[in-house]
Structure 1
């Protein structure tokens, strides 16, 4: 969709929707049609934002020789790309000071593990944390992840430049590109506590977690009295 694309009004599209369900009231259908119009507008806004993101000017060049330890040994930053031109890097809250990793990060990455091979058709996808790689791999196996590539930033050089200048154990989502022989930073999630709206947990948009996408479609919503767990009763 481009700026010159002529779109029908969202309300007009919503009005021609012929979905109906058993025993629904006229009141429900009117409210649902109004909601559908807003959902169409949301879809369009998401696409506008994605277009703006894709149109960003070139980001800063990567000039440092960042080094990591992967499951098969030491690698360079360039190695993380493999044969792709784009690298997606998630910084996992599992630093050496933690006994166990962040449950929220773990929930996100568990969903990504099932999508990793699909993502890798278009871009390289890696997970980076500050703990020794043996610790990261042990938890990867405990969680049953099969497709995520895990790397340790033992020196912290990458983390201090692209996650936290004071090497705090915080999450980050960065995208890098390799174009015309130059590796550059392309985009990073920049929404945090200071950009959060009142009464909401800090989060980006679109939300990276399928968990929230699902719960946002329920009457209970996300809720505020629970948190993802690292272990669950297998009988549930």
Structure 2
């Protein structure tokens, strides 16, 4: 193997093809081990027990709707709980950006499943905001229900993801996550993490000289999402 060529700070060293291939193979072993561990985690998730829920009523575009009817005939339902502040001009930039990714969800039909947004905000405000930022998902409000609080997404709380299963008119809660647990649903971080500089956030374990900036500072904010997908920011 040849010696590494010193490069400018913030750039990987330059090596010959054989040295690069050897380093890639070493990393690949860890990547494959992580893939197998994710498979094992998914297998454990499929074996989780579930808990029966009350007959919640949410608010949708057409008015009150039972939680069981949010499934729209499917057997499985994923809900993203969007952080919300009543009357705010712009809602959480992270939630707005995260949910903007999901412009095509029809593939879930083949899996007897649906994915929707639920917020604790008033339904009229929620739908207006959805349209403002160009979001294409179906939105529901739990403002008149204890649903959000009961599934670990209370008013004034953080974002969350929940998964439910329907058996006839009975709904069960099967899984929940929040915080960085939601990253597995996002393609944005997966793409950015492939880059030599990664997310470029100050908490990362990166080589000396790598670009670094405050956490979240590279994220698009809600007005940016509206400009790209919805209406021009006011």
TM over 0.5: yes
Q: Please give the residue correspondences for 1:1-236 in structure 2 after superposition, counting only pairs within 5 Å.
A: 25-57=17-49, 59-63=50-54, 65-96=55-86, 98-112=88-102, 114-122=103-111, 123-146=113-136, 148-164=137-153, 167-179=155-167, 182-189=170-177, 192=179, 203-204=180-181, 207-224=184-201, 225=213, 226=217, 227-232=219-224
- Looking at structure 1, the residues matched to 148 and 23 of structure 2 have their Cα atoms a distance apart, in angstroms, of 47
Q: CA offsets per residue over residues 162-203 of structure 1, 9 Å max, x none?
A: 1246x33311100011136532110111x54xxxxxxxxxx1
CA contact (8 A) 1:95 1:169 kept: no
- Looking at structure 2, the residues matched to 120 and 94 of structure 1 have their Cα atoms a distance apart, in angstroms, of 29
Give the match's secondary structure for 1:75: strand
> How many pairs were matched up?
196
The answer for unaligned runs of 5 or more in structure 2 is 1-14, 202-212, 229-234
**Shift of residue 208 of structure 1?**
2.0
Change (3 A) 1:124 1:99: same
Q: Counterpart of 1:19?
A: none
- Looking at structure 2, the residues matched to 205 and 132 of structure 1 have their Cα atoms a distance apart, in angstroms, of 24
CA contact (8 A) 1:131 1:153 kept: yes
Q: CA offsets per residue over residues 191-220 of structure 1, 9 Å max, x none?
A: 54xxxxxxxxxx117622211111110111
The answer for unaligned runs of 5 or more in structure 1 is 1-22, 193-202
What CA RMSD, in Å, does the superposition of the two structures yield over aligned residues? 2.1
**Shift of residue 231 of structure 1?**
2.8
Give TM-score, length-normalised by structure 2.
0.76
Give TM-score, length-normalised by structure 1.
0.75
Give the match's secondary structure for 1:49: helix
Could you say which structure has the greater relative contact order, defined with CA pairs below 8 angstroms and 6 or more residues apart?
Answer: 2
